[in-house]
Amino acid sequence: MKPRLVPAFAVLVVGLIVCLAPLAWMISTSLKPFDELFKGGISLIPQHTRFENYSDSLRTFDFLRAFGNSVFVAVLTVLGTLASSIPAAYAFARLKAKGSSWVFYGLLATMMLPGQITIIPVFRLFASLGMIDTYAPLIVPAWLGTNAFAVFLLRQFFRSLPEETMEAARLDGANEGLILVRIAVPLARPAVVTVAVFAFLGSWNDLWGPLVYLHREERMTLPVALVNFVGSSGTVQGTPWNLVMAASVVTVLPAVLLFAFCQRSFVAGIATTGMK
């Protein structure tokens, strides 16, 4: 290694340790017996490893039902985000219309509004449509192009595509829809994967939305189910954090596996978006 790269490498190592420390602590706690949790000192290596914590935690509450609910909502959210944001981003990037820039700026302005500000009118809207205690408030917005960040990310990538390729397709008789499906989307695969990963993580980790819109326990997603598990599993001796952390480890596994599988496209999408 070149000497001038040593400081940068050291900073990266420190950053890696800081990022992985909470995950290591969670895994360590998930493998400890209950009695070992409240002993003094800090130890990442359990004195007595207890793998039964995982089976015990998953039996304590209806984990599989909550897991299935989260998968259902996350998959439909990802599909809706891609179906709505890809055409919108392509239109903003490639189709010139009077006032389109101002419409795009207005869309970006919505990113500055936290969901807590608009929750009352949005809740009243879904209540008037009879959609409370259903998955519609969690899924329908994704199909209506409400993910401004996804539109922005894809628009920046579509703008970086060579115009000569688009013009050649138009000369061959291709319309804009065909160009989008056959040329733009395949070339923008890293950005599309990046948007899909962000949409999945946003839905998978969402606690606010399900907590507001879902009432029945059998409809709860994993974040809400975990919060309820923490609140209901306390005993005189204390909260069984080993079981809570075991359930949390299983909960984060899909996100970790998704990022590991899509890592190359994800990094490429983040690194190359907005270069033009």
Stretch 35-55: mean pLDDT, rounded?
Answer: 81
Q: What domains lie within the chain, and their CATH numbers?
A: 61-229+239-272 (1.10.3720.10)
Give the pLDDT score at 114: 83
More confident of the two residues 73 and 35: 73
More confident of the two residues 244 and 275: 244
Give the pLDDT score at 266: 65
Stretch 64-85: mean pLDDT, rounded?
Answer: 94
Q: How far is CA 174 from CA 30, 95, 158, 161, 183, in A?
A: 56, 15, 17, 17, 10
Give per-residue pLDDT as tens, 144-187.
Answer: 988 899 999 899 888 888 888 888 888 888 888 888 888 888 88
Average pLDDT over the chain reads 86
Give per-residue pLDDT as tens, 224-237.
Answer: 988 888 877 665 56
Give the pLDDT score at 40: 66
More confident of the two residues 276 and 99: 99
Percent of the chain at pLDDT > 90 equals 33
When mean pLDDT is compared over 89-103, 124-138, 157-171, 181-195, the highest value belongs to: 124-138
Give per-residue pLDDT as tens, 16-34.
Answer: 889 888 888 888 888 888 8
More confident of the two residues 215 and 45: 215
The pTM for the full model equals: 0.85
Query: Residue 258: which residues within 8 A CB-CB, separation 6 or more?
Result: 197, 200, 201
Query: What is the number of other CB atoms lying within 10 angstroms of the CB of residue 88?
Result: 19
CA distance 37 to 41: 10
CA distance 79 to 204: 14
